Amino acid sequence: MMETSVQYAWIIAILPFIAFALIGLFLHRWPRLSAALSILAIGIAFLISLLVSLAVFSSEGNLVYEAAARWLSMPGLQVDMGILVDGLTAVMLIVVTTVALLVQIYSLGYMHGDPGFASYYAYQSFFAGSMLGLVLANNFGQIFVFWELVGLASYLLIGFWFGRNSAKEAAKKAFITNRVGDFGFLLSILFLQILFGTLNFNGLAGEIAGYTNTGILIGIAILMLAGPVGKSAQFPLHVWLPDAMEGPTPVSALIHAATMVAAGVYLIARAYFIFSSTPQALLAIAVIGGFTALFAATIAIVQNDIKRILAYSTLSQLGYMVMAMGVGAMTAGMFHLMTHAFFKSLLFLGAGSVIHALHDEQDIWKMGRLAGKMPVTTWTFVIGALALSGIPPLSGFWSKDEILLGAYASGHIGLYILGTIVAFLTAFYMFRLIFVAFFGSGEGGLKAHESPAVMSVPLVILAVMAIIAGFVGSPLMNNVFAHWVSYPGAVHHNPSLGIMAVSSLVAVAGIILAWAVYQKKMVDVAAVKTRFNGLYQLLYHKYYIDEIYQWLIDHLIDGTAKVLFWFDVYVINGLVNGIAALTGMAGQVLRYTENGQVQTYAMYMFAGIIVIIGLVMMAGFAIVL
């Protein structure tokens, strides 16, 4: 039963699309029915994903299934639509369907009473279908199509409350920033098609293994990496992710924490057969990832909006994943993707629970004393924060540790130190949030009440996942995860107790510092802020990156537009109008030949006859009768 279920894996992606179509076309007038259909679709998809994944996992990751149908056939170009199911796919299927299902159930409570309830579920189904299609794709063309579709879904969901101007702007920013990255991705796909004639993953893996021109491969790799830089919000295309918090919190949990932003990391993993031959591209992405991790963590420590803190935390963790990919620890990166999906979505849903209870209050300084009124939310949130900070034996500890081990053991000591510093900062800002919002002395929490079961049960389930999901990649289960997800030529490092100890200590130190500063008030925060005001402003304004981009757009892009506009008006219009004017002038001159005198016309006629006689004579027309 499990083995044959793999053949039906394509249904996983189709079901949510069917739900989307039905809701969009027919059922949107009945919101509860739409929600039920959407949850049903993702639920069935989840069950089939379970079967498929169990089939793959029970074969120690050796089961690889591929099926394709020819979609487009032209001379020199064949494009297939197909699915590829292996260990990597199975892991992603579990992650996406689990989180999507829990988020959709949670949304029943969170979005209750919203006038766009049915559309919300339609878009959720659309997103789920696109993401699952992306994960199941067996060739670059198909993955690109679904890549763009998830971008579209993100746009629709960020701008869901389209009455709000900030939401509209954020949606546009997300889509456009993504497009910049997608441009590089598309170019790389085109190069692959031109050079190798196929976009199929397995086909390309075979071809690239024997390809010797590394310069071109590096170029393709770097172009392809532009996609994840955009989609997974790495520096410098990170600017859209914090703004994406304008969308409903379940959307932030699903798309901008667990799944869509992970698509970039998934792409790197899937295309690792290209990257493993281009160490320079890998180094570049490792540096970008590490830098993003540090960059985002420093911004997170001064933010006041609960969702912003979590957004920058996501940026930072994505940096970790990308850095892992860059140092050759592809397995560790995917492992962290999986654990991060669970505890980050938990954190976001918990934040949503708080926001919902406080009637859309998002400033942590206006919260406080939530622990008493919202116990389930509080303690699941704490579990999530502990997992994120990397406290053993929670899931985050195992995955973050694998990454740090990979960085250290492959010789990237600088990145290892950077990762350790970020771990410290992560613990610090997360527990700053917790001590201020949940255990703080603010008065906001007094009017809160715990969320309904439909919202708190998913929190509990995710908390359980956050605790236990890490064991599949730990030495306790012999790192069976590495059997599921790995690439040829992967180097396995033995777990190092030293690194485990250091990372745990660093995390605990961060928590203690946060407790000291924000709970016990041993440091006067206001005084620190005033003394380091320049640094504080820099961090609070996200290093002014948005302002720089705005300046660049105003001057470079609009400037170029003005130049081209001038060109269009004066040169091109000038040419077109010039031809018309030329015809007019020719007419003005030639009309003087019409002098009304018939004899003049007769003269022109005879002149023509002379020319004809001349031509006939020259052609040697000696007529022999």
Note the residues at the interface with other proteins (CB under 8 A): 591-592, 594-600, 602-603, 606-607, 609-610, 613-614, 616-617, 622-625
**Comparison of 74 and 623: residue with beta carbon closer to other proteins:** 623
Q: Smallest distance, Å, CB 581 to other proteins?
A: 19
Q: Smallest distance, Å, CB 599 to other proteins?
A: 6
Q: Smallest distance, Å, CB 580 to other proteins?
A: 20
What is the rounded CA–CA span in Å between residue 51 and residue 5?
7
Q: Smallest distance, Å, CB 614 to other proteins?
A: 6
**Comparison of 411 and 608: residue with beta carbon closer to other proteins:** 608
Name residue 196's amino acid: F
Of 421, 432, 430, which is closest to residue 523 (Cα–Cα)? Answer: 432
Q: Smallest distance, Å, CB 592 to other proteins?
A: 7
User: Is the dihedral angle over the CA atoms 109, 115, 118, 119 positive or is it negative?
Assistant: negative
Q: Smallest distance, Å, CB 601 to other proteins?
A: 10
What is the rounded CA–CA span in Å between residue 56 and residue 68?
19
User: Is the dihedral angle over the CA atoms 267, 271, 272, 276 positive or is it negative?
Assistant: negative
**Comparison of 525 and 616: residue with beta carbon closer to other proteins:** 616
Q: Smallest distance, Å, CB 600 to other proteins?
A: 7
Distance, C-alpha 103 to centroid of its chain: 18
**Comparison of 206 and 614: residue with beta carbon closer to other proteins:** 614
Largest CA distance in the chain: 125
Q: Smallest distance, Å, CB 586 to other proteins?
A: 14
12 contact partners, CB below 8 Å, separation of at least 6: 45, 48, 49, 52, 93, 97, 132, 136
Q: To 5 degrees, how large is the angle CA 436–CA 165–CA 447?
A: 30
* Helix or strand run (H / E) with residue 68: strand 65-74
534 contact partners, CB below 8 Å, separation of at least 6: none
CA atoms within 13 A on the CB side of 35: 19
Helix ranges, 469-540 (H): 480-484, 497-514, 525-531, 533-540
Distance, C-alpha 335 to centroid of its chain: 17
**Comparison of 74 and 610: residue with beta carbon closer to other proteins:** 610
Q: Smallest distance, Å, CB 585 to other proteins?
A: 15
Q: Smallest distance, Å, CB 621 to other proteins?
A: 8
Of 159, 311, 174, 316, which is closest to residue 246 (Cα–Cα)? Answer: 159
**Comparison of 580 and 616: residue with beta carbon closer to other proteins:** 616
Q: Smallest distance, Å, CB 609 to other proteins?
A: 7
**Comparison of 505 and 613: residue with beta carbon closer to other proteins:** 613
**Comparison of 548 and 616: residue with beta carbon closer to other proteins:** 616
What is the rounded CA–CA span in Å between residue 132 and residue 499?
36
Q: Smallest distance, Å, CB 578 to other proteins?
A: 24
DSSP secondary structure letter of residue 200: B
**Comparison of 166 and 595: residue with beta carbon closer to other proteins:** 595
**Comparison of 548 and 612: residue with beta carbon closer to other proteins:** 612
Question: Which neighbouring-strand residues pair with 282?
Answer: none
**Comparison of 69 and 624: residue with beta carbon closer to other proteins:** 624
**Comparison of 213 and 588: residue with beta carbon closer to other proteins:** 588
Q: Smallest distance, Å, CB 584 to other proteins?
A: 14
User: Whose structure tokens read 């004809």?
Assistant: 612
What is the rounded CA–CA span in Å between residue 317 and residue 340?
8
Contact 164, 234 (CB under 8 A): no
Contact 130, 157 (CB under 8 A): no
**Comparison of 497 and 623: residue with beta carbon closer to other proteins:** 623
**Comparison of 449 and 591: residue with beta carbon closer to other proteins:** 591
Q: Would you tell me how many other CB atoms lie within 10 Å of the CB of residue 525?
A: 12
Q: Smallest distance, Å, CB 579 to other proteins?
A: 23
Question: With 0-12 CB in 10 A as exposed, 13-18 as middle and 19+ as buried, what is 431?
Answer: buried
Contact 497, 503 (CB under 8 A): no
Of 104, 77, 113, which is closest to residue 20 (Cα–Cα)? Answer: 104
Q: Smallest distance, Å, CB 565 to other proteins?
A: 41
**Comparison of 69 and 623: residue with beta carbon closer to other proteins:** 623
Question: With 0-12 CB in 10 A as exposed, 13-18 as middle and 19+ as buried, what is 305?
Answer: middle
Q: To 5 degrees, how large is the angle CA 387–CA 389–CA 391?
A: 65
What is the rounded CA–CA span in Å between residue 23 and residue 17?
10
